[in-house]
Amino acid sequence: MDLYHCMIELKSDAKALAFAASVEQWMSELKQEGLIGGWRLMRRKMGLASGPHTGFILEVEFENMAALEKAFRSVAQFTEGEMRHYELMHAMIASYSVGLYRPFPDAERRERVALI
């Protein structure tokens, strides 16, 4: 499993509940299309964070890199109508940063370590 991790800061006039609803709609569409596995949206609690931590974290699960690539290719081919929920969600975002993570140690790494 690969985890696409998005740290998100909303625009000052964006409403958190409206953003959460838009994320729910967009992620539900992607999941229904079979393009993603699980996902979760989390909000910083009590403003407690340091450094670069943002107001929201969105994590999206993919079975593997091929599934991630398929999702990106498929979304790039969506019609304007299909992109409506994405655009509603994205319009509320002031800034974001992303990263791709994997469970560690993973099976491949464990196997290599075992051979040493």
68 found inside a domain: yes
Residues 6+ apart with CB under 8 A from 58: 5, 6, 8, 23, 39, 40, 41, 42
60 found inside a domain: yes
- E-only strand ranges, 63-106: 93-101
Q: What is the mean pLDDT of residues 8-33?
A: 96
**Domain ranges, residue 12:** 2-46+54-101
Which helix (H) or strand (E) segment holds residue 28: the answer is helix 16-32
96 found inside a domain: yes
Q: Is the peptide bond before 103 cis (omega within 30 degrees of 0)?
A: no
79 found inside a domain: yes
| pLDDT tens digit sequence for 55-81 | 999 999 999 999 999 999 999 999 888
Residue 75 belongs to domain with CATH number: 3.30.70.100
Give the model's pLDDT for residue 111. 59
Confidence bin at 96 (pLDDT 50/70/90): very high
Identity of the amino acid at 57? I
Give the chain's domain count.
1
Closest CA to 91 of 5, 23, 30: 23
The percent of residues in the chain predicted with pLDDT above 70, rounded, is 92
Q: What is the mean pLDDT of residues 76-93?
A: 91
Give the model's pLDDT for residue 115. 55
Tell me the average pLDDT of the chain: 89
27 found inside a domain: yes
